[in-house]
Amino acid sequence: MRFLKKLEEKVRRHSEVEKLLQDPAVTQDQTRLRELGKELRVLEKIVTIYRDFKKNEEELVHAKEMATDKSHAADWVEMARQELTLLEEKQARLVKEIEGYLVQADPAFSKNVILEIRAGTGGLEAGLFAAELFRTYSKFAQNNGFKVEVLSSSINEAGGVKEIVAGINGEGAYGKFRFESGTHRVQRVPATEAQGRIHTSAVTVAILPEVEEVEIEIKPEEIRIDVFRSGGPGGQSVNTTDSAVRITHIPTGLTVSCQDEKSQLKNKQKALKILRARLFDKITSERNSELAKQRKEQVGSGDRSEKIRTYNFPDRRVTDHRVGLTVYNLEEVLEGKISAFIDALTEAEIEKQLS
């Protein structure tokens, strides 16, 4: 069976992690202890289902023997055949579960998410859709038991979003959102269009795993922190203190600004959280650049320049171009019901990884 080798590797790793957690050197290192604890929780699910799979496999062998044994009475053989059918159905379900868990076993999938949405081509209309898309993701997050916290936002004069950055917190958030990175295209008649012509606009989405301080070091001498007075649309004053913060990472030139909080300290903490995630993403992307080239045409390549999904309002149609899935319930999708896309993309990822 195609996944059995990988499954047995995970079971062996589970035993290794259990032993490591009993090592005095590990128990004194809180960071290492926390990382191994997270890994163990994921592996425990795999080990449990592995044991269920092996037990069911043994029962299947026994049931097949009984169903083909002509020395038994006909009613006994019929019972064995019915039992065999149930066991085969259970085995098929277990296989699907195992394949899903194997793909989800990446420790990064359990992390919180940094969600970044930016208006692209399309002017004010793109900003309005960016705001709608943020609402969609907020609904999806809440439906899955995650908490959403706005870290930074910039609003345009029409009430849309130029850029919004938010934290999505909860076990497994990155695993749920990881496929959403890319360009989302919207086709509709803007409210400002007098002649009823359909316009095409675009919004870019980036999904980054939240990175803890211990995972990436930002040295004080590598950053420049500027403070300034917060401002809103049209230049109006939000408050009268220098609470807004701009952090520049000098080696890479990455810049993050936060002004949503009245507290300079809180804005600084949020800006550093975003900066860590962007730095980690930059380092990871550069490290995997060769692999990314090979996978560019495959599902889930994560290239943010790709058009991954189209929202067509006149036809109430939403299409995910990576898996060719089209649904005709646009209103429900915008209410956060995007599980059909997540499930299809997960299935495609499973097939790719296990092939």
Question: SS3 string of 217-266?
Answer: CCCHHHEEEEEECCECHHHCECCCCCCEEEEEECCCCCEEEECCCCCHHH
Into which CATH architecture does domain 4-105 fall?
Up-down Bundle (1.20)
In 3D space, the residue among 151, 157, 153 whose CA is nearest the CA of residue 192 turns out to be: 157
pLDDT recorded at residue 232: 54
Taking only the tens place, the pLDDT of each residue in 277-305 is 888 888 777 766 654 454 343 333 333 34
CATH of 108-214+291-354, one of 3.40.47.10, 3.30.70.1660, 3.10.310.30, 3.40.190.10: 3.30.70.1660
pLDDT recorded at residue 282: 84
pTM for this predicted structure: 0.67
Residue 235 has pLDDT above 50, yes or no: no
Same fold, 108-214+291-354 and 220-287: no
For the residues 251-265, what does the mean pLDDT come to? 87
pLDDT recorded at residue 240: 54
Q: Please state which CATH number belongs to domain 220-287.
A: 3.30.160.20
DSSP string computed for 153-169? EEE-TTS-EEEEEEEEE
- Tell me which of 12 and 109 has the higher pLDDT: 12
Per the prediction, the chain carries an average pLDDT of 83
DSSP string computed for 108-172? GGGS-EEEEEEE-TTHHHHHHHHHHHHHHHHHHHHHTT-EEEEEEEEE-TTS-EEEEEEEEESTT
pLDDT recorded at residue 354: 67
Domain chopping of the chain, boundaries: 4-105, 108-214+291-354, 220-287
pLDDT recorded at residue 190: 82
Taking only the tens place, the pLDDT of each residue in 48-73 is 988 999 999 999 988 888 888 877 78
pLDDT recorded at residue 355: 64
